[in-house]
Amino acid sequence: MCGHVLLILGVVLALAAASEACVYKYGTSPGSEAPSVSGTSWDYKVMGDDWSGVDGHNKSWSCMSGLHQSPIDLPVSAHIGDPSLISKWSYPSLISNGSNIEVINNGHAIQVEWTSNYEGSMDIVADASPAATITDILSMPDTSEGTKVVTARPLQFHFHTGSEHFMDGDALAMEMHIVSRVPHSEMPGCPEAGCLTVTAVLFKVREGPCNAALKDLFTSLPMEEGTINFLSEGATIDLGKVLPSKEKRSYYQYAGSLTTPPCSEGLLWHVLDEASHISWKQYRALLMAVSDKDCTLKAEDTSKVPRASTGQMQYLRSSGSLQNLHRSHTAQRALRSSLSSSEGMPQYLEVVVSELKSLQRDRQGVLVLQSSAVRHLTAGSDLQKHKDTYVCVAYAYSQNRRLPQPSNDRMIKYFEASKESDMIAEAIKA
């Protein structure tokens, strides 16, 4: 059975970070720092139709002006791609050692990142010419001539409630995005930070058993914005099994954009045609995690909250800005770290206090903390023990998805999974 997840981690200290820090970290490695300067805040109130703003460098977002935006409504009939150009996924299980897999509620979505090495990869047939980027394959003829295989490594994955891509006019219940990067070293035409490709898996909700591959993850969803849960030791995410089985991995391929501000274009999308499934319980847990809600400290645990001997904590709690940020459900990433007992400060509090010095106010007067500091701050903290400290109640479920964008006659290719070629490949391996 999949447990329900109305209860979340204990909260003692909350640090707010500016919106840029909580934008999904597209284009950065899992261990790297999010952009340090803030841009315009955004939310999903009108599903992206009001996303005009600037990034941290005051550069306008592409959301309202771009001509190759994502998501899109996928057609029943698309150009059939040549089997020699098909992409292949190889995703072993992610296994937790108790501190290497982070489940983050960044205020926009539930996102999973890892700090240890992960061997997952995706082979993509790309244009071999030196100046080519990852999306140029779409304008090439249907032959493997002039192509090469490049490897994309996953950086993170996250979920949208309500699918972002539509299938012939219809949305499904949920969509998962696995964001991967092809390094500049493999494709010199890509920027220094590499080219991005996103694999999208759509989900239906069904009666009955939960999705076992996501079971450990969905019982560890952080309910409050800014919260990070570590998957407990031994917990696994079977990413390969979240995707449909190999012989069902038919997909749409097209060139699009990030589906969140700044909506940068030049991404290669792979949208799998076969839907996966989650249970109602899992679906509700995810809806709860991304909705407006009130979370209350359970009475028996209040004694565990140290009356901070540090002025910094009280300062943060009395600033008011964090609370307002939560109320408005803007995308502020905060970290909430629970302390293990009321007797003395646990080890990692020292880290917390030292990191507080890097707090500043940004242009809107919001307290800002670099995400590198957030990551550092969580290292070694024993959060799992305090899973049940809070109880959350949702006011209303809300969805974190952007509406489909005009396709503008883009090339959309459909690749049919080939049972035979996989069987041959398996036979050769054996």
Largest pairwise CA distance in the chain: 69
Shortest gap between Cβ of 181 and Zn ion (angstroms)?
15
Give the integer Cα–Cα distance in Å for 373 and 326.
21
> Contact with Zn ion (CB under 5 A): which of 177, 281, 329, 375?
177
Contacts of 365 (CB under 8 A, 6+ apart): 321
Pick from 168, 221, 196, 159: nearest CA to 28: 196
Closer residue to Zn ion in complex, CB, 165/177 = 177
Shortest gap between Cβ of 186 and Zn ion (angstroms)?
23
The number of CA neighbours under 13 Å toward the Cβ of 255 is: 19
Closer residue to Zn ion in complex, CB, 265/301 = 265
Shortest gap between Cβ of 216 and Zn ion (angstroms)?
21
* Binding span for Zn ion by CB under 5 A among 31-39, 171-179, 205-213, 377-385: 171-179
Shortest gap between Cβ of 292 and Zn ion (angstroms)?
20
Closer residue to Zn ion in complex, CB, 55/175 = 175
Question: Partners of 151 in the beta sheet?
Answer: 123
CA distances from 192 to 10, 28, 178, 196, 269 (A): 40, 11, 21, 12, 20
Question: Partners of 94 in the beta sheet?
Answer: 237
Shortest gap between Cβ of 402 and Zn ion (angstroms)?
8
Amino acid at site 262? P
Give the integer Cα–Cα distance in Å for 9 and 102.
13
Closer residue to Zn ion in complex, CB, 161/232 = 161
Gyration radius from the chain CA atoms = 22
- For 126-194, the three-class secondary structure string (H helix, E strand, C coil) is EECCCCCCHHHHHHCCCCCCCEEEEEEEEEEEEEEECCCCEECCECCCEEEEEEEEECCCCCCCCCCCC
Binding mask 336-365 for Zn ion (x = CB under 5 A): ------------------------------
- Only one residue has tokens 């307290």, namely 367
* Binding span for Zn ion by CB under 5 A among 170-178, 262-270, 275-283, 375-383: 170-178
**Could you say which residues in the range 247-286 bind Zn ion, by CB under 5 A?**
259
Q: Is 17 helix (H, G, I), strand (E, B) or coil?
A: strand
The number of CA neighbours under 13 Å toward the Cβ of 147 is: 23
Shortest-Cβ-distance residue relative to Zn ion = 177
Q: What are phi and psi of 14, to 5 degrees?
A: -125, 125
* Binding span for Zn ion by CB under 5 A among 81-89, 175-183, 386-394, 400-408: 175-183
Closer residue to Zn ion in complex, CB, 133/260 = 260
> Which residues belong to the active site?
108
Shortest gap between Cβ of 158 and Zn ion (angstroms)?
5
Number of residues near Zn ion (by CB under 5 A): 2
Closer residue to Zn ion in complex, CB, 95/200 = 200
Locate the DSSP E strands across 251-368: 251-257, 265-272, 276-279, 292-297, 333-337, 360-361, 367-368
Encoded tokens for 258: 């990030």
Q: Does 401 bind Zn ion (CB under 5 A)?
A: no
Closer residue to Zn ion in complex, CB, 9/267 = 267
Which residues of this protein are in contact with Zn ion, per CB under 5 A? Answer: 177, 259
